[in-house]
């Protein structure tokens, strides 16, 4: 157990430093902030002089986008590194030593989570400065949503690890991951978009599409990590502490289930590409 912990710590340190000294990590955060700035500027431009705009938490949507960009980057980078190590045989060499699937995958999970928390710290700073500049308001609700973001990142990372443990080659790993997470996002986005339109305004084909996406959304509701984020943000808006804690618990359970599934799959499947 002690040995496993030490191995995990060594792997975690190695991977974490590798990520922190690479441009990609900062580039991903920059891209997400750029998208947020664009959204916030549009929001401000929408309010004309002598007019008002009633809205709840205008920073929540940019936060949502930021979280998605950061978590997608982390999960894809993680999948690439696992597959690369598998393809190059590094994983096999490591597993001849004291490294086990559990220590390897836990170190990956904790590395991504740490990077995610660091990215959220950047996000908090970004929103704070944005609030000072524009008075959009850095509220307790936003702080709660940021904390909820840690659990979303945990869900995405654990789900990504599971997919990486299932696939062998780097290309198939990335394609599978992108396809599944992209589909989750697309279903959620299309469903929410169509939900916002009154039924009378929808053509029959869009009506069927809405019904179809509604069924699909219900189907992925407990699998898609992004659905957990939406529910978590809803609990912040509702100011319901019980609901908030329940969603945090759901996220923890989700993450644990997928990390253990990944360990099990890697143990069964082996480390060869």
Partner 1 sequence: MKWYRYGVLLLVGMLTLGGSLAIAQPESPFKEQLVYSLTSFNGSSFSKNFCPQSEDTIYLIAHENSVVTPVKTIVYYWPITRRYMAGFSTLNERINGKLEIVHNGKVIATQPEQKYVLYYPKGYWSEKAVMYLDEEAENYYKKYKQAVDVFNQKLREYYQAMERYREVLNRFFEEVRRRREAGEEGPLNIPIPKEPKAPDFVDFYTSEPASGFILNLPPGKYEIRLRRDDGTIFEGSEKKLFVFTSRRKGGVGYEIIPGNRWTKKENCDDPSWIIHAVGKNDLYFNPYKQEEYNELYYNKLVDPQEIGRLERFKWVHIDPIENVTLLFGRGKEILQTVERTPYFVKQIPGPELGYEIIQYDEELKKKGYQPTFESYKVSLPPHLPKTDYQISLVSSGSGQPEEKSERTVRMLKKENAPYLYLVAFLPLFVGVVTIIGRATKIEK
Could you say whether residue 140 binds partner 1 (CB under 8 A)? no
Residue 141 sits at the vertex; the CA angle it makes with 138 and 142, to the nearest 5 degrees, is 50
Residue range at the interface with partner 1 (CB under 8 A); choices 36-44, 95-103, 148-156, 168-176: 36-44
Single out the residue of 1, 2, 56, 140 in contact with partner 1 (rule: CB under 8 A): 56
Could you say whether residue 75 binds partner 1 (CB under 8 A)? no
Could you say whether residue 130 binds partner 1 (CB under 8 A)? yes
Could you say whether residue 51 binds partner 1 (CB under 8 A)? yes
Closer by beta carbon to partner 1, 134 or else 176 = 134
Could you say whether residue 33 binds partner 1 (CB under 8 A)? yes
Within 8 A by CB and 6+ apart from 207, the residues are: 199
Could you say whether residue 44 binds partner 1 (CB under 8 A)? yes
Using CA atoms, how far residue 142 sits from 46, 205, 224, 233, 269, in Å, is: 22, 38, 23, 9, 42
Closer by beta carbon to partner 1, 176 or else 230 = 230
Could you say whether residue 57 binds partner 1 (CB under 8 A)? yes
The CA radius of gyration of the chain, in Å to the nearest whole number, is 20
Could you say whether residue 239 binds partner 1 (CB under 8 A)? yes
Residue range at the interface with partner 1 (CB under 8 A); choices 6-14, 147-155, 192-200, 257-265: 192-200
Single out the residue of 195, 206, 223, 257 in contact with partner 1 (rule: CB under 8 A): 195
Least distance CB 15 / partner 1 (angstroms): 16
Least distance CB 127 / partner 1 (angstroms): 9
Could you say whether residue 141 binds partner 1 (CB under 8 A)? yes
End-to-end CA distance of the chain: 28
Distance CA 244, CA 140 (A): 13
Phi first, then psi, for residue 54 (nearest 5°) are -95, 125
Could you say whether residue 219 binds partner 1 (CB under 8 A)? no
**Angle of the 60-88 helix axis to the 170-195 helix axis, nearest 10:** 160
Closer by beta carbon to partner 1, 120 or else 271 = 120
Phi first, then psi, for residue 104 (nearest 5°) are -65, -50
Distance CA 111, CA 17 (A): 9
Least distance CB 254 / partner 1 (angstroms): 21
Single out the residue of 27, 182, 219, 270 in contact with partner 1 (rule: CB under 8 A): 27
Instruction: Give me the half-sphere count of Cα atoms (radius 13 Å) on the Cβ side of residue 16.
Output: 19
SS3 annotation, 68-134 = HHHHHHHHHHHHHHHHHHHHHCHHHHHHHCCCCHHHHHHHHHHHHHHHHHHHHHHHHHHHHHHHHHH
Q: What is the binding site for partner 1 (CB under 8 A)? A: 20-23, 25-27, 29-30, 33-34, 36-37, 40-41, 44-45, 47-58, 122, 125-126, 129-130, 133-137, 141, 195, 199-200, 237-239
């Amino acid at each position: 157990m002690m040995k496993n912990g030490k191995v995990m710590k060594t792997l975690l340190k190695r991977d974490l430093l590798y990520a922190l000294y690479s441009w990609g990590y900062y580039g991903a955060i920059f891209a997400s902030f750029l998208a947020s700035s664009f959204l916030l500027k549009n929001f401000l431009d929408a309010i004309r002089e002598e007019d008002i705009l009633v809205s709840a938490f205008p920073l929540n949507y940019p936060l949502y986008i930021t979280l998605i960009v950061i978590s997608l980057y982390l999960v894809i980078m993680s999948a690439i590194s696992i597959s690369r190590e598998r393809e190059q045989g590094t994983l096999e060499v490591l597993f001849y030593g004291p490294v086990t699937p559990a220590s390897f995958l836990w170190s990956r999970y904790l590395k991504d989570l740490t990077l995610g928390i660091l990215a959220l710290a950047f996000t908090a700073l970004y929103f704070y400065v944005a609030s000072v500049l524009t008075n959009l308001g850095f509220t307790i609700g936003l702080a709660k949503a940021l904390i909820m973001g840690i659990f979303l990142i945990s869900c995405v990372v654990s789900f990504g690890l599971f997919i990486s443990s299932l696939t062998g080659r780097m290309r198939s790993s990335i394609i599978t991951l992108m396809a599944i997470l992209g589909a989750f996002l697309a279903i959620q986005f299309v469903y929410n978009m169509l939900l916002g339109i009154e039924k009378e305004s929808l053509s029959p084909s869009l009506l069927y599409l809405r019904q179809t996406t509604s069924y699909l959304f219900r189907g992925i509701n407990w699998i898609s990590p992004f659905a957990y984020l939406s529910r978590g943000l809803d609990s912040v808006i509702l100011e319901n502490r019980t609901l908030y804690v329940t969603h945090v618990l759901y996220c923890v359970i989700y993450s644990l289930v997928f990390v253990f599934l990944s360990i099990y799959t890697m143990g069964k499947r082996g480390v060869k590409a």
